[in-house]
Chains A and B, each alone.
Chain A
Amino acid sequence: MKNALLEVADLKTYFPVKGGLLKNTKEYLKAVDGISFTLEEGDTLGLVGESGCGKSTTGRSILRLIEPTEGSVKYRGAEVTSMGKKELRKLRKEMQIVFQDPYASLNPRKQVGSIIEEALSTHGIGRDSNERKGMVLDLLEKVGLNATAYERYPHEFSGGQRQRIGIARAIAVNPSLIIADEPVSALDVSIQAQILNLFQDLQDSMGLTYIFIAHDLSVVKHISDKIGVMYLGRMVELASKDDLFARPSHPYTQALMSAVPVPDPTIKKERIILTGDVPNPSNPPTGCTFHPRCRSCMEICAEIAPKPVEISPGHVVSCHLYDPEYNCAT
């Protein structure tokens, strides 16, 4: 059993929605509504779900780039949510983030070298600027870029190369955990594979732990050990990769799985098409938030929110279908 690097328990991030004549807070948008998981050192957790389901907010809340409303995030046993400014600064060295849009995540006015060097100088890594320059050149090589990139500007690079620069910045401080917020979804497919391989190489060589956010199941399948499926701010299913793909249990996961294209025209498979749109997260459906779109919906689903049920070791589903209390069929 490996050590737990990150323990997230019942994490909630609500955004106040202001409305009415007096602009008082009327309701909350529940972007993240009670997420729990444990991540072991060296593992990769994939987070999947439709856009707007709170994947990115979860990542940013763990880093406290967005302040979580409730719940606990423990990094190596230390509570992150209650950290003061100084402790948080130290934590920044341990947890880093790679962003989705490589065109927006690099300051267009700065040379690549100084973008990466800022990570080093902020944490006092390297004795002087000469040593830091050497370290930056090493980092550029590590992510597969030429040393001439050092004094170029971000606009001179392609999307894939920029994402490499973003990765170099993230690994510059030698972190243990990297939250990758859809790092390949802005790239075309051939570059996606390269960047995914780079992520895996770095994981092997630096012993990194990833939270890999994506909306593409095949990407997540490629890189993850564990996969969490999110819907409207909640984790509907959490299982090891093999378990999830062998036995997708939540109706939402099944629907997602059926949408993954299979590169073989002779295989006929049933495509579950969800009706309707994702409901408004500031006014989610009662009970199970998925029930209006669920094909196995029961009466109870509209009334009571399902509790997480462990259907096999490490495979947790939040659905009444698997809760013996409500469904005798299973």
Chain B
Amino acid sequence: MSQVVTESKTEGLVGNMPEAAKPKSYWSLVWRRLKRNKGAIIGAAILLFFIIASVGAPILSPYPMEEMKMENRFIAPSADHWLGTDEFGRDILSRMMYGGRVSLMMGLVAVSIAGIVGVFLGVISGYYRKLDIYIMQCMDILLAFPSLLLAIAIIAVLGVGLTNAMIAVAISVIPSYVRVVRGTVLSLREKEYIEAVKALGVSDFKIILKHILPNVLSPVIVLSTLQFGTSILAAASLSFLGLGAQPPAPEWGAMAYVGKSFLLNAWWMSLFPGLAIMLVVLGFNMLGDGLRDALDPRLK
């Protein structure tokens, strides 16, 4: 027996050899992988640019947002007005910087609402299988509608406006969260380590809180990044249709909508807000793709 003991001790020692390498936490590994992904860094840089421009709008914007000068109407992009002016002589760049605040805020609020509600419903649906069918059938009904159409229908009920647009976008995004979270929970609850914790007598609540939720986190982060872009696009679409932010509020979608009437003689009015939407959505998608690769070591 003594021989066996020595053997096992050796195994223990050999396995713990790399003494110098400190145990790496999960998130520091993720950060390292993310840094190596060029697409994710470009995406993050684009987003950072827009965030700084929007947050710093009061300091950075070259003109006051509301300043109207009739003599400056429809100026093409020039040294004075980099992105031109609109039909009231307002500086487009300044308005876009303020508009970014609205767009980003809409994305943030919609994703937060959808994320919290979606994770809650998804965990319940995946863990307590008896409720599963009811929750999932509601979600399937929501999923059956194209999301923009669903958002329009919700606004038709709630009324036009920025807050209602956020709620409408959030509701249309919830089902995708529920699906992703439920699927993850379904595969997690069959894992042996969850069974092991159950065998230890840990309560359901603690199992969900300490073992399920941390493992659900990474798919939710990835989904949130991607949904951020989708939400901003949906919110801008609603504003473009006149259902979200109302003029004169400087929202990108609304600005593109106003510019549509002057498209032939002032193309810059619609083009630049549209480009901003496109770049932000692209940035979120690139970052989201990178995050997915970084959070899922199997793809490495």
Contacts and interface: CB of A to CB of B under 8 A. Distances in A.
Contacts of A88: 201
Nearest to B199: A97
Interface string A93-109: 10011011100111101
Contact of A146 (B16, B195, B201): B16
* Size category of the binding interface on chain B: 20 to 34
B193 A107 contact: yes
A122 B202 contact: yes
Contacts of B196: 97, 99, 105-106, 166, 169
A88 B202 CA distance: 11
Interface string A55-75: 000000001010000000000
A166 B197 CA distance: 11
Nearest to B201: A92
Contacts of A169: 196, 200
Q: Is the interface of B mostly helix, strand, loop or mixed?
A: helix
B140 interface: no
B7 interface: yes
A101 B193 CA distance: 10
A5 interface: no
Contacts of A149: 12, 16
A177 to B, nearest CB: 12
A152 B23 contact: yes
Contacts of B13: 146
Nearest to B15: A161
Contacts of B198: 65
B209 to A, nearest CB: 12
A111 B23 contact: yes
A173 B8 CA distance: 23
Contact of A118 (B15, B191, B195, B197): B197
Q: Which 7 A-B pairs have the closest CB atoms?
A: A92-B201, A144-B8, A105-B192, A104-B192, A197-B4, A89-B201, A146-B16
Interface of A: 63, 65, 88-89, 92-93, 96-97, 99-101, 104-107, 109, 111, 118-119, 122-123, 144-146, 148-149, 151-153, 156-158, 160-161, 164, 166, 169, 173, 191, 193-194, 197-198, 201
Given A107-B197, A149-B16, 6 more contacts: A104-B193, A105-B195, A144-B8, A145-B12, A152-B23, A194-B4
